[in-house]
């Protein structure tokens, strides 16, 4: 199990001078941490821009700096190297790229101006799923859900397992002590502060909102996450509706993305991260 990554994730000095921000470095580190967390091997791509222009280069668009037969030959050679790796190892989980790069952009690239689409190098591998590093770096999920019956806890574990199969790191309150109706006041405070801290550290909240009305604790967790600007994905498999246009309570629905099946959660998370 491996991912192909742009080499600047491992060595940011390969990027053009002056373009790397602290937020980029944090994303690079988090993406690599996600790989370590799930035992995913990191295989760096070659860097066509460095091979052609060297280190310490000034920023520029593809048209300004790279639209030459000589650079096309570099891309040809490096594409062959990467395809040899894939033939030997099998398909990667994905390519982790860096948006706006003339070569390794995923969703946007600087061609003659900033445009949608892959960069010149990643565009040579259309059959391989590509993910921008800013999205790949966001993998911590807080799973908010009622946890008071065996059926509820079993369903939460099903959702947790599905998320972990997609390489998300899931915080599930029932697995860290929130399992006993006979809580003391001190244990209640401890649970509250631990869960709040986990929401604050999460990149997204997935909330189960089945039932005639959403669980009150889950609703609070959703509201707190929304107020912090954290994306919320609300899962409602219950076919009952709160109104003609609402799956669930209006305030919860308007502050989240509502999905109606477990299999819709991961795509909704990815879309939420791409929206920023």
Please tell me the pTM assigned to this model.
Answer: 0.86
- Cβ partners under 8 Å of residue 231, min gap 6: 203, 204, 205, 225, 257, 269, 272, 273, 275
Task: Provide the pLDDT for residue 100.
Answer: 93
Give the span between the Cα atoms of 76 and 135, in whole angstroms. 28
Dump pLDDT digits (tens) for 1-18: 999 999 999 999 999 999
**C-alpha dihedral, 13 to 16 to 19 to 25, nearest 10°:** -30
Domain with CATH 3.40.50.450 in the chain: 140-274
* pLDDT tens sequence for the chain (276 residues): 999 999 999 999 999 999 999 999 999 999 999 999 999 999 999 999 999 999 989 999 999 999 999 999 999 999 999 999 999 999 999 999 999 999 999 999 999 999 999 999 999 999 999 999 999 999 999 999 998 888 999 999 999 999 999 999 999 998 876 556 556 667 788 889 999 999 999 999 999 999 878 889 999 999 999 999 999 999 998 887 766 666 778 889 999 999 999 999 999 999 999 887
8 A C-beta contact, residue 47 and residue 7: yes
In this prediction, residue 243 carries a pLDDT of 63
Please say whether the dihedral angle defined by the alpha carbons of residues 95, 101, 107 and 112, taken in this order, is positive or negative: negative
Alpha-carbon radius of gyration of the chain: 22
Return the CATH number of the domain spanning residue range 140-274.
3.40.50.450
């Amino acid at each position: 199990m491996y991912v192909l990554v742009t080499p600047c994730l491992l060595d940011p000095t390969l990027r053009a001078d002056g373009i790397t921000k602290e937020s980029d470095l944090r994303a690079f580190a988090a993406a690599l941490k996600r790989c370590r967390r799930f035992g995913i091997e990191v295989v760096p791509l070659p860097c066509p821009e460095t091979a052609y222009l060297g280190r310490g280069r000034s920023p520029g668009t593809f048209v300004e700096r790279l639209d030459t037969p000589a650079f096309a030959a570099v891309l040809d050679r490096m594409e062959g190297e990467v395809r040899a790796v894939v033939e030997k190892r099998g398909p990667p989980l994905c390519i982790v790229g860096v948006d706006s790069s003339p070569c390794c952009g995923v969703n946007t690239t600087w061609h003659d101006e900033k445009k949608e689409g892959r960069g010149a190098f990643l565009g040579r591998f259309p059959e391989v799923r590509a993910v921008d590093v800013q999205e790949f770096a966001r993998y911590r999920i807080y799973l908010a859900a009622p946890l008071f019956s065996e059926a509820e806890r079993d369903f939460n574990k099903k959702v947790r397992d599905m998320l972990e199969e997609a390489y998300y790191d899931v915080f599930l309150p029932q697995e860290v002590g929130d399992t006993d109706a006979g809580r003391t006041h001190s244990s209640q405070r401890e649970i509250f502060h631990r869960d709040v801290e986990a929401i604050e550290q999460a990149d997204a909240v997935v909330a189960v909102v089945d039932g005639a009305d959403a669980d009150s604790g889950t609703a609070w967790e959703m509201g707190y996450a929304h107020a912090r600007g954290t994306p919320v994905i609300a899962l409602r498999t219950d076919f009952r509706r709160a109104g003609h246009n609402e799956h669930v309570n209006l305030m919860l629905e308007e502050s989240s993305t509502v999905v109606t099946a477990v299999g819709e959660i991961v795509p909704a998370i990815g879309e939420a991260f791409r929206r920023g």
